[in-house]
Amino acid sequence: MRKNITGQQHPFFLASSNEPQVIAHRGGAGEWPGETIYAFKQAVALGVDILEMDIRYTRDNHIVLMHDPNVRKTTGTNKRVKNMDVGEITSLRADNWWRIRGITFRTTPTPRFLSSRMY
């Protein structure tokens, strides 16, 4: 039988110091290309408490970090994550939103979930 717990009883909140937590939404997507290893490294360097990320499954059942179901906004390629193989999606640069505004980031591939487990 599953035990029902309230939000305040969840282990995450029980371990909390009741201090405000700084969350890097998609790794700080407004500051650099979100959902990338680059974004997560920058957020960690700033001292954030929590890295928030979105995951999606590829056609061949790999997990990648991607906010939207379609990769168009992030990569410039108009395809859905679920219709792409992991090799195809991880070969795409994840800084399209920035490039169309004249800002480039050296290396920002779309990461697999396992790649992001370095933290």
Sign of CA dihedral 39, 44, 46, 47: positive
Beta-sheet strands, E only, within the chain: 23-25, 50-52, 55-57, 63-65
Q: Is 67 a catalytic residue?
A: yes
**Catalytic position from the list 51, 55, 57, 67:** 67
**Catalytic position from the list 25, 59, 80, 99:** 25
What 3-state class would DSSP assign to 117?
Answer: helix
Q: Is 10 a catalytic residue?
A: no
- Contact in structure between 90 and 116 (CB atoms under 8 Å): no
Residues identified as active-site: 25, 67
